[in-house]
C-alpha cells in the first residue's frame, strides 16, 4: 500500500499513532483536534481516491469476474 500510494505521509501517520497510543496523558488535545480539523479535510480527496480504488478492486475477483455476496 505504501508503494501504491507514495503521496500519503505514512511515516507521519505512524508517528501520530505512536504518540497517541504511548503518550497517554502527555497528548496535547488541542494539537490532536487541530490535526483532525485541518488534516482530515486536506487529506479527504486522497482518502476518497484510495477507498474508491480499494472498493473497485474488491468487486473484481482474481479471475476478472465480479464477486457476489450470495
Domain ranges of the chain: 10-59
Backbone angles phi, psi at 7, to 5 degrees: -75, -10
* Residues catalogued as catalytic: 17, 22
Q: What does the pLDDT read at residue 70?
A: 45
Q: 19 CB contacts (<8 Å, ≥6 apart)?
A: 27
Q: What does the pLDDT read at residue 9?
A: 86
Query: What angle (nearest 5°) sits at the alpha carbon of residue 49, between those of residues 63 and 62?
Result: 5
List, run by run, the mean pLDDT of 10-residue segments along the chain (70 residues).
90 82 81 86 90 87 54
DSSP string, 19-42: HHHHHGGG--HHHHHHIIIIIHHH
Q: What does the pLDDT read at residue 3?
A: 92
Q: What does the pLDDT read at residue 48?
A: 93
Amino acid at each position: 500500500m505504501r508503494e501504491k500510494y507514495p503521496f500519503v505521509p505514512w511515516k507521519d501517520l505512524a508517528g501520530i499513532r505512536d504518540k497517541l497510543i504511548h503518550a497517554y496523558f502527555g497528548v496535547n488535545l488541542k494539537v490532536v483536534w487541530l490535526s483532525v480539523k485541518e488534516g482530515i479535510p486536506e487529506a479527504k480527496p486522497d482518502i476518497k481516491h484510495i477507498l474508491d480504488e480499494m472498493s473497485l478492486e474488491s468487486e473484481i475477483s482474481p479471475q476478472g469476474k465480479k464477486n457476489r455476496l450470495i
